[in-house]
Amino acid sequence: MDRFLIIRLSSLGDIIHTLPAFAALRKRFPDAEIRWAVEEKGKEILDLVPGIDEVVVIDKSKYRRGARLIKGREQTALDFQGLVKSALLAYLSRSRRRLGFSRKNLREPLAGLFYTERPSPFPEEEIHVIAKNLKLLELLGIKESRFEFPLRIPEDIIQSVRSKLSARGHRDGRRIVVFNVGAAWETKRWSPEKWVESIAKADISDAFTVLLWGNEEEKRLAESVAEKTGVTIAPFLSIKEVIAL
């Protein structure tokens, strides 16, 4: 039996960007055992992905212990993260084959020391990160250009979101426009003024619009935008509920 270990520990957006690579791997090896090493916060997304045989939660403060959980010499490890910590985890897993990007395509070039195979370097500025992840699969003879996101959302989570939006005034059949005001990095966040300007230009007259937020800082930003635009502030939603939305 073919055995694979996917290493993409964080962050939430990057885990989503890795799902098409998983989908392509599962499609090519339908009977293989595929495990995914992830930090605790990312597990919530992977719980919605059918076809993963085991999700292994890695405690970021205890990597050696985590390596014991994913150990397997007769497996192929694929490091989509490209950091020293993720490449080291692949090495400590004792996987016979350890696939990672070339040094030019690594966020931390030293990670390349821990791989046994690397694809040829390529200009990252010309492709989306999802396509970059798919390129790693070429070492396994997989060439895929489609982006598939194998997510299965439980009906109770969908109904929870519908109920919460209904309480804010949404009615069935009305299209929803979501403005996601939050971002983990300050450099990725727009100012309230930019949001107000963008919303003013958007074709949303017939839509139910909501401002999405995830923490108190983002909520304050959403409140500032809502005050100047009249757009509804979304209720707090879990990661799974955001995906359902």
pLDDT of residue 35: 98
In tens digits, the chain (245 residues) has pLDDT values of 899 999 999 999 999 999 999 999 999 999 999 999 999 989 999 999 999 999 999 997 777 788 889 999 899 999 999 999 999 999 999 999 999 999 999 999 999 999 999 999 999 888 999 999 999 999 999 999 999 999 999 999 999 999 999 999 999 899 999 999 988 788 888 999 999 999 999 999 999 999 999 999 999 999 999 999 999 999 999 999 999 99
> What is the 3-class SS of the chain, one letter each residue?
CCEEEEECCCCHHHHHHHHHHHHHHHHHCCCCEEEEEECHHHHHHHCCCCCCCEEEECCCCCHHHHHHHCCCCCCEEEECCCCHHHHHHHHHCCCCEEECCCHHHCCCHHHHHHCCECCCCCCHHHCCHHHHHHHHHHHHCCCCCCCCCCCCCCHHHHHHHHHHHHHCCCCCCCCEEEEECCCCCHHHCCCHHHHHHHHHHCCCCCCEEEEECCCHHHHHHHHHHHHHHCCEECCCCCHHHHHHC
The architecture of the domain spanning 3-140 is 3-Layer(aba) Sandwich (3.40)
The per-residue pLDDT for 80 is 98
pTM of the model: 0.91
| Residues 48, 151: Cα–Cα separation, whole Å | 5
pLDDT at 62: 79
What is the structure's pLDDT at 64?
76
List b or e across 95-105, with b for residues whose CB sees 16 or more CB atoms inside 10 angstroms. bebbbbbbbeb
Dmax over Cα atoms in the chain, in whole Å?
59
pLDDT at 182: 86
Domains of the chain: which residue ranges?
A: 3-140, 155-244
pLDDT of the residue at 73: 87
Q: State the pLDDT at residue 13.
A: 92
> Are 3-140 and 155-244 the same fold in CATH?
yes
Q: How much is the pLDDT for 200?
A: 96
**CATH fourth-level superfamily of 155-244:** Glycogen Phosphorylase B; (3.40.50.2000)
CA distance 121 to 123: 7
